[in-house]
Structure 1
């Protein structure tokens, strides 16, 4: 857009309306000439920059809060160090200690769990073998040291304790066993499944058990037995059988326990003891002999409760399954 030039300003700085200049429109029509126009320069688009909107300042941090540094630019961080929460944990000594404690605790829990499982399994296997041999329920426990997993790995067991329920041992009623085994090595050979350093079994046979046993194994006379009385003072037992009385001494005989008849009386008369001795021998042989691994009786004692005996074996071979099915589980 063009504007005609104005005349000189009137005094006081305001233009004089009466004055005119060559650029006055009234002269355009008289002279027919159009005065030159004044061009207002147009701004150059290339040089005119549109100002960018002002960047709003971030709100000031709340008192007590520290602005989070950009990821990877935390204060104190260096190139190559772990970042994030895991990296922060590794830089905290207390956190590292707690992590190590947790890892160790989990490892110990796994080892203890494996130890208990293997130990319980082995206890069950050994108890099952004894139960098969004596025909009564039993419990077994392995020695605490060394740890059972080590014993199992080396197949060498320091000690085993076994107790039977006391119901019976074979046909002997109310007989119980307390067995202590040492130095077991399961190294199979052509003749054995392993070896046992020593085995000691303490056998307790109650007076009531002796009575019930003799009632079952002695023909004719057994049904007449009413009581068995132990006599610790002279090491004998007295068997009352109706009108007869038997005084016998428990002794070790041929690797087992026998009842040696000292006297037999009936109707006030003394009878030959040979009439009853073979019957008692046959009964006790079935009860106390022919145990596996060469187990033999070492001693026998009469107590106030009955008869106690000790059986043992040394450097014995463990039978293979084809020799004694009771040992198949080993």
Structure 2
């Protein structure tokens, strides 16, 4: 049986949590060493002795452990510049680009406005010139054929450019179909190309090509023939029937039956009598033919601009003829009044 050992009398064997006076050290108090009588420097502990232990207060020992972690630095996007304190001497490129864009905006608006005004002016001038040219050409044709007419220019090039250069490339003209001069029921469709306007005394310019298609209805032929033979016209021709197979036109009346064939003669259109039968009324064939020739000659010959008949055919409802002219001269004002306003 061992006897428990009591506290040692050796001051160096004192527990490390007590001070020199036998009490625990106060927080923040530095450990003290026992000085032996006589002064001098403290002597090191004898061999085998334990060095005095210094215990820090619990609050001091856990200070570092209880300290909250340092928050990470704030995230700064790459396209932004964050500066603290003195600004950087490096220029801010995005700000300069934005400033340049804002400074160029008024210039861009001015350019757009000017362009819009110029475009609006060109469109207005184009519409005005196109309308004036259409009206003048339609008026000239209406004056010549004695019927209403319409004219139109092609989409390109602009009529304004054609007007400035006095060179018109493509014009289409169409009459109402009431009559051409005294020929009733006759309609004309004209295509004109390569018009060059140039005053030279008795000429206003030239026309490169002119092609026209004229249609003459059966009713128009009947009315025209009746007007061609005064007093007897209604008795000679009361109905008109076309025969496309043999290219003839039959004119029946109360007193006769005439079969005629439309033919191109000397650049004009004639109705040549193929057969002539009278029903109890004596009328010489030659007299009827001469009367028809004189009347149709006035209708289809002596057109201006050198227009002549190229071909003619009989259809189911009338007669169709093709007219043309090449390198024609536009007459001056004093030679043809219908073209005075061109």
Instruction: Tell me if both proteins adopt one fold, taking TM over 0.5 as the criterion.
Output: yes
| Aligned with residue 194 of structure 2, among 178, 183, 189 | 183
In 1, distance between residues paired with 2:283 and 2:185?
30
SS at match of 2:130: helix
Which residue of the partner structure matches residue 294 of structure 1?
306
- CA contact under 8 A between 1:293 and 1:313: conserved in structure 2? yes
Per the alignment, residue 112 of structure 1 pairs with 123
Superposition deviation, residue 147 in structure 1 = 1.1
Report the 3-state secondary structure (helix = DSSP H, G, I; strand = E; otherwise coil) of the residue aligned with 2:161: helix
d(CA) in 1 for partners of 2:169 and 2:125?
A: 19
Q: Is 303-312 or 259-268 further displaced after alignment?
A: 259-268
Q: Which residue of 1 aligns with 2:315?
A: 303
Distance in 1, matches of 2:297 and 2:184, equals 15
The CA distance in 2 between the partners of 1:208 and 1:269, in whole Å, is 24
Q: Deviations over 1:85-125 (max 9, x none)?
A: xxx99835455444433322221111011000001001000
Q: What does residue range 227-246 of structure 1 map to in structure 2 within 5 Å? A: 227-246=239-258
Partner of 1:189, secondary structure, is: coil
Match of 2:294 in 1: 282
Within-5 A mapping of 1:44-55: none
Deviation at 1:168, TM superposition (A): 0.7
Instruction: Specify the SS of the correspondent of 1:276.
Output: helix
Within 5 Å, give how 1:4-19 maps onto structure 2: none
Contact 1:90–1:96 (8 Å) recurs in 2: no
| Matched-pair contact (CA < 8 Å) for 1:221–1:241 | no
Q: Is residue 2:173 matched to residue 1:162?
A: yes
**Tell me, what secondary structure is at the counterpart of 1:279?**
helix
1:258 aligns with 2:274: no
Normalised by the length of structure 2, the TM-score is: 0.68
Deviation at 1:291, TM superposition (A): 0.8
User: Are 1:193 and 2:218 matched, yes or no?
Assistant: no
In structure 1, C-alpha distance between the alignment counterparts of 2:114 and 2:223, rounded to whole Å: 60
**Residue of structure 1 in register with 2:114 after alignment:** 103
Q: Which moved more, 1:210-219 or 1:249-258?
A: 210-219
Which residue does 1:204 correspond to in 2?
A: 215
Tell me which residue corresponds to 1:325: 337
| Contact residue 254 and residue 279 of structure 2 kept, 8 A | no
CA RMSD in angstroms, aligned pairs only: 2.1
2-side partners of 1:107 and 1:263: how far apart?
69
Q: Is the 8 A contact 1:243 1:267 kept in 2?
A: yes
User: How far has the Cα of 1:220 moved from its partner?
Assistant: 3.6
- Give the stretch that moved more between structures: 91-100 or 207-216: 91-100
* 1:81 alignment counterpart: none
Distance (whole Å) between structure 2 residues aligned to residue 103 and residue 97 of structure 1: 10
* 1:132-162, Cα deviation, whole Å (9 max, x unpaired): 1000110001222221111111101001100
Select which of 316, 325, 332 maps to 1:313: 325
> 1:135 & 1:121 partners in 2: Cα distance?
20
C-alpha separation in 2, matches of 1:242 and 1:220: 13
- The Cα offsets for residues 239-284 of structure 1, whole Å up to 9 and x where unpaired, read as 0111310000000011110000000012289986324211110110
Task: Kindly tell me the number of residue pairs found equivalent between the two proteins.
Answer: 244
Which has the higher Rg, Structure 1 or Structure 2?
2
